[in-house]
């Protein structure tokens, strides 16, 4: 499946970085379209590089997929960073959490990210290390970032959350998880139902955690 992990350090420099990004972009497209069966020779051809170049950068297809998944999750974390910047100035906690919920759902339901997520879950038995890497770079980081958001809202006196870890899971359950469940069987929530779920989900969350002053 892959090359010896004792290979020399990956190429460096601007040209090498352009090749690396082309490889990752090609791999994301092919993994999304064809699943993990996409071959390294296909990825090389799509990226316009040699197969040797692919293996110079990535020692195995598993390693390449982990990079693809990590970059996809990185895009979601950029969204979270932007949200946190906006939350710092938000006076209305309800609107702040509703904006956060909409942005998280938009990121989670991006078609390419959904395809990658479904690919990971489909390959759990063959490649459990892929699932661990995806969990570390994706859901675990998202949960940690959401926990920091709740901590900030608590510090400002807008929320009172005794157990942030539980509250993060509750917030995701009320907002993101219904979409992921529907997507896991190839479906999607109707737009009006999705809107109502988010609005009512945030209201339920605030009933539990909003402070009297907020």
Query: Which pLDDT score, from 0 to 100, does residue 8 have?
Result: 65
Number of separate helices (H) and strands (E) present in the chain: 11, 0
CA pair distance 122, 139, nearest whole angstrom? 17
Structure tokens at 64: 């390449």
Evaluate whether the domain defined by 1-59 bears CATH number 2.90.10.10. no
CA pair distance 51, 27, nearest whole angstrom? 12
Let me know: does 119 contact 31? Beta carbons within 8 Å: yes
| pLDDT tier for residue 84 given thresholds of 50, 70 and 90 | confident
Residues of the chain with CATH 1.10.357.10: 62-209
| Non-local CB neighbours of 180 within 8 Å, separated by 6+ positions | 108, 114, 117
CA pair distance 99, 5, nearest whole angstrom? 44
Residues of the chain with CATH 1.10.10.60: 1-59
Structure tokens at 18: 């352009």
CA pair distance 123, 23, nearest whole angstrom? 21
Q: Give the angle 162-166-171 at the CA atoms, nearest 5°.
A: 105
184 vs 168, residue with greater confidence = 168
Neighbour count for residue 69 (Cβ, 10 Å): 25
Tell me the average pLDDT across 175-196.
89
**1 has pLDDT over 50:** no
Residue carrying structure tokens 């539990």? 208
Query: Which pLDDT score, from 0 to 100, does residue 7 have?
Result: 58
CA pair distance 2, 43, nearest whole angstrom? 14
Neighbour count for residue 42 (Cβ, 10 Å): 15
| pLDDT tier for residue 5 given thresholds of 50, 70 and 90 | very low
Rounded to the nearest 10 degrees, the angle between the axes of helix 111-122 and helix 177-184 is: 70
* Predicted TM-score (pTM) of this structure: 0.74
3.40.50.300, 2.130.10.10, 1.20.120.530, 1.10.357.10: which CATH number matches 62-209? 1.10.357.10
pLDDT digits (tens, 9 = 90+) for 14-68: 888 999 999 999 999 998 888 888 999 999 999 999 999 999 999 999 889 888 8
Let me know: does 77 contact 141? Beta carbons within 8 Å: yes
């Amino acid at each position: 499946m892959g090359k010896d992990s004792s290979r020399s350090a990956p190429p460096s420099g601007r040209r090498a970085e352009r090749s690396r990004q082309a490889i990752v972009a090609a791999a994301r497209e092919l993994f999304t379209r064809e699943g993990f069966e996409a071959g390294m020779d296909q990825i090389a051809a799509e990226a316009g590089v040699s197969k040797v170049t692919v293996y110079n950068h990535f020692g195995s297809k598993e390693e390449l997929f982990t990079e693809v998944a990590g970059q996809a999750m990185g895009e979601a974390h950029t969204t979270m960073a932007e949200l946190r910047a906006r939350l710092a100035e938000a006076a209305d906690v309800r609107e702040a959490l509703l904006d956060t919920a909409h942005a998280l759902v938009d990121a989670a339901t991006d078609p390419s990210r959904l395809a990658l997520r479904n690919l990971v879950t489909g390959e759990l038995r063959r490649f459990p290390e892929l699932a661990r890497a995806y969990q570390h770079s994706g859901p675990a980081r998202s949960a940690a970032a959401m926990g920091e958001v709740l901590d900030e809202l608590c510090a400002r006196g807008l929320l009172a959350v005794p157990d942030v870890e539980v509250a993060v899971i509750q917030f995701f359950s009320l907002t993101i998880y219904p979409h992921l469940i529907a997507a896991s069987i190839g479906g999607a929530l109707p737009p009006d139902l999705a809107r109502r779920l988010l609005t009512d989900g945030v209201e339920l969350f605030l009933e539990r955690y909003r402070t009297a002053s907020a």
